[in-house]
Amino acid sequence: MSYEINTLTADCYEGTTCLINKFGITNEKQLENIEADYLMISTIQAAHGITDNLIKIFSRYIYKI
């Protein structure tokens, strides 16, 4: 997932276009992989009735039109 970011105004790590994140990852591709893994784990948990993480993901990335 690529983003168009103005690194002068966005909350990015210095010298990168990678948004500051709770993992401390400054490599965009590595961050995408971590996010994909987190989504997969959350989806598996939701299949077992634990939906908290999946709800957080959807509320953050999916907006009502």
pLDDT greater at residue 64 or residue 59: 59
* Domain segments of the chain as ranges: 28-61
pLDDT attached to residue 18: 85
pLDDT level of residue 40 (50, 70, 90 thresholds): very high
pLDDT attached to residue 37: 93
Count of CB atoms within 10 A of residue 18's CB? 20
pLDDT attached to residue 1: 53
Backbone φ and ψ for 2, nearest 5 degrees, come out as: -105, 150
pLDDT attached to residue 52: 94
Q: What single DSSP character describes residue 19?
A: B
Please provide the DSSP assignment of 26-63 as one string. Answer: --HHHHHHHHHHHHHHHHHHHHTT--HHHHHHHHHH--
The predicted model scores a pTM of 0.62
pLDDT at 22 over 60: yes
